[in-house]
Amino acid sequence: MTNKSNLIDVNQLKFNQISIITFLLLGFILNLEILVYFTALIMIIGSIIPKFAVFKQIYKNIVLKNKLIKPNIIEDSQAPHNFAQLLGGIVLAIAGILFLLNISAIGWIFVWVVILLAFINVAFNFCMGCFIYYQLHRLKVGGLNKQTQKV
Protein backbone atom coordinates (compact mmCIF):
# COMPACT_ATOMS: atom_id res chain seq x y z
CA MET A 1 0.00 0.00 0.00
CA THR A 2 1.27 3.46 -0.90
CA ASN A 3 1.64 6.00 1.86
CA LYS A 4 0.82 9.60 0.83
CA SER A 5 4.26 10.65 2.10
CA ASN A 6 5.76 8.33 -0.53
CA LEU A 7 4.12 10.22 -3.41
CA ILE A 8 5.78 13.08 -5.25
CA ASP A 9 4.81 15.20 -8.24
CA VAL A 10 7.56 14.89 -10.84
CA ASN A 11 6.29 18.02 -12.60
CA GLN A 12 6.68 19.98 -9.37
CA LEU A 13 10.30 18.84 -9.16
CA LYS A 14 10.89 19.82 -12.79
CA PHE A 15 9.21 23.21 -12.29
CA ASN A 16 11.47 23.76 -9.28
CA GLN A 17 14.59 22.85 -11.29
CA ILE A 18 13.57 25.03 -14.24
CA SER A 19 12.96 27.94 -11.85
CA ILE A 20 16.42 27.47 -10.34
CA ILE A 21 18.02 27.33 -13.79
CA THR A 22 16.13 30.45 -14.90
CA PHE A 23 17.15 32.56 -11.90
CA LEU A 24 20.78 31.44 -12.10
CA LEU A 25 21.03 32.03 -15.86
CA LEU A 26 19.52 35.49 -15.43
CA GLY A 27 22.01 36.15 -12.66
CA PHE A 28 24.89 35.11 -14.90
CA ILE A 29 23.72 36.93 -18.04
CA LEU A 30 22.91 40.16 -16.18
CA ASN A 31 25.86 39.74 -13.77
CA LEU A 32 23.46 39.99 -10.84
CA GLU A 33 25.03 38.06 -8.00
CA ILE A 34 21.98 38.94 -5.88
CA LEU A 35 19.99 36.35 -7.87
CA VAL A 36 22.48 33.69 -6.78
CA TYR A 37 22.08 34.72 -3.13
CA PHE A 38 18.29 34.75 -3.55
CA THR A 39 18.22 31.31 -5.18
CA ALA A 40 20.56 29.85 -2.54
CA LEU A 41 18.32 31.20 0.20
CA ILE A 42 15.17 29.80 -1.46
CA MET A 43 16.79 26.40 -1.90
CA ILE A 44 18.22 26.12 1.62
CA ILE A 45 15.14 27.39 3.46
CA GLY A 46 12.79 25.36 1.23
CA SER A 47 14.80 22.20 1.94
CA ILE A 48 14.67 22.69 5.69
CA ILE A 49 11.11 24.08 5.92
CA PRO A 50 9.14 22.71 2.92
CA LYS A 51 6.19 25.09 3.41
CA PHE A 52 8.62 27.93 2.58
CA ALA A 53 9.82 26.32 -0.67
CA VAL A 54 9.00 29.32 -2.89
CA PHE A 55 9.16 27.64 -6.31
CA LYS A 56 7.10 24.68 -5.08
CA GLN A 57 4.51 27.06 -3.62
CA ILE A 58 4.31 28.95 -6.93
CA TYR A 59 3.78 25.61 -8.68
CA LYS A 60 1.08 24.53 -6.22
CA ASN A 61 -0.76 27.85 -5.83
CA ILE A 62 -0.46 29.32 -9.33
CA VAL A 63 0.54 26.71 -11.89
CA LEU A 64 -1.69 23.87 -10.64
CA LYS A 65 -4.61 26.08 -9.63
CA ASN A 66 -4.67 27.62 -13.11
CA LYS A 67 -4.23 24.16 -14.67
CA LEU A 68 -1.13 25.25 -16.59
CA ILE A 69 0.50 21.86 -15.96
CA LYS A 70 -1.03 18.55 -14.92
CA PRO A 71 0.54 16.83 -11.93
CA ASN A 72 2.57 13.69 -12.59
CA ILE A 73 2.38 11.77 -9.32
CA ILE A 74 4.75 8.85 -8.76
CA GLU A 75 5.75 6.70 -5.82
CA ASP A 76 9.04 8.03 -4.44
CA SER A 77 10.51 9.52 -1.28
CA GLN A 78 10.82 13.30 -0.93
CA ALA A 79 13.91 13.00 1.31
CA PRO A 80 16.52 12.50 -1.46
CA HIS A 81 15.10 15.45 -3.42
CA ASN A 82 15.18 17.70 -0.35
CA PHE A 83 18.76 16.61 0.30
CA ALA A 84 19.70 17.37 -3.32
CA GLN A 85 18.14 20.82 -3.12
CA LEU A 86 19.91 21.54 0.17
CA LEU A 87 23.21 20.45 -1.38
CA GLY A 88 22.61 22.72 -4.39
CA GLY A 89 21.75 25.60 -2.07
CA ILE A 90 24.98 25.07 -0.14
CA VAL A 91 26.99 25.10 -3.38
CA LEU A 92 25.30 28.40 -4.30
CA ALA A 93 26.04 29.78 -0.82
CA ILE A 94 29.71 28.93 -1.40
CA ALA A 95 29.48 30.77 -4.73
CA GLY A 96 28.06 33.74 -2.84
CA ILE A 97 30.96 33.71 -0.40
CA LEU A 98 33.38 33.62 -3.33
CA PHE A 99 31.60 36.66 -4.82
CA LEU A 100 32.04 38.51 -1.52
CA LEU A 101 35.74 37.63 -1.55
CA ASN A 102 36.05 39.05 -5.10
CA ILE A 103 36.71 35.60 -6.54
CA SER A 104 33.76 35.92 -8.91
CA ALA A 105 35.11 33.71 -11.71
CA ILE A 106 35.28 30.71 -9.36
CA GLY A 107 31.90 31.67 -7.89
CA TRP A 108 30.32 31.56 -11.33
CA ILE A 109 31.87 28.12 -11.92
CA PHE A 110 30.04 26.89 -8.80
CA VAL A 111 26.83 28.46 -10.16
CA TRP A 112 27.31 26.70 -13.50
CA VAL A 113 27.76 23.36 -11.72
CA VAL A 114 24.30 23.84 -10.17
CA ILE A 115 22.82 24.94 -13.52
CA LEU A 116 24.30 21.91 -15.29
CA LEU A 117 23.15 19.41 -12.65
CA ALA A 118 19.65 20.94 -12.58
CA PHE A 119 19.52 20.70 -16.38
CA ILE A 120 20.61 17.05 -16.30
CA ASN A 121 17.84 16.38 -13.79
CA VAL A 122 15.20 18.05 -15.98
CA ALA A 123 16.39 16.61 -19.30
CA PHE A 124 17.54 13.13 -18.33
CA ASN A 125 15.77 12.45 -15.00
CA PHE A 126 19.07 11.92 -13.22
CA CYS A 127 19.40 13.69 -9.88
CA MET A 128 23.04 13.81 -8.78
CA GLY A 129 22.10 15.01 -5.29
CA CYS A 130 19.68 12.07 -4.97
CA PHE A 131 22.43 9.72 -6.12
CA ILE A 132 24.75 11.13 -3.43
CA TYR A 133 21.93 10.80 -0.87
CA TYR A 134 21.43 7.11 -1.70
CA GLN A 135 25.18 6.42 -1.61
CA LEU A 136 25.43 8.06 1.83
CA HIS A 137 22.35 6.10 2.93
CA ARG A 138 23.94 2.87 1.73
CA LEU A 139 27.05 3.73 3.77
CA LYS A 140 24.80 4.54 6.76
CA VAL A 141 26.11 8.09 7.05
CA GLY A 142 24.63 10.67 9.41
CA GLY A 143 21.03 9.71 10.19
CA LEU A 144 19.88 9.37 6.59
CA ASN A 145 18.41 5.95 7.41
CA LYS A 146 15.76 7.62 9.58
CA GLN A 147 14.58 9.87 6.73
CA THR A 148 14.46 7.41 3.86
CA GLN A 149 11.26 5.53 3.38
CA LYS A 150 11.35 2.35 1.35
CA VAL A 151 9.10 2.44 -1.69
Element (H, E) at 8: strand 7-9
Q: How far apart are CA 16 and CA 69, in angstroms?
A: 13
Q: In the prediction, which pLDDT does 148 show?
A: 46
At 94-151, the pLDDT tens digits run 999 999 999 999 999 999 999 999 999 999 999 999 999 999 999 988 766 554 444 3
Check whether 41 has a pLDDT greater than 60: yes
* DSSP character string of 22-83: HHHHHHHHTT-HHHHHHHHHHHHHHHHSGGG-HHHHHIIIIIITTTSS---EEE--SHHHHH
Q: What is the pTM assigned to this prediction?
A: 0.89
Give me the domain span that covers residue 38: 4-147
- Say whether pLDDT at 63 is over 50: yes
What is the count of structural domains for the chain?
1
Cα angle: 10, vertex 40, 6; to 5 degrees: 30
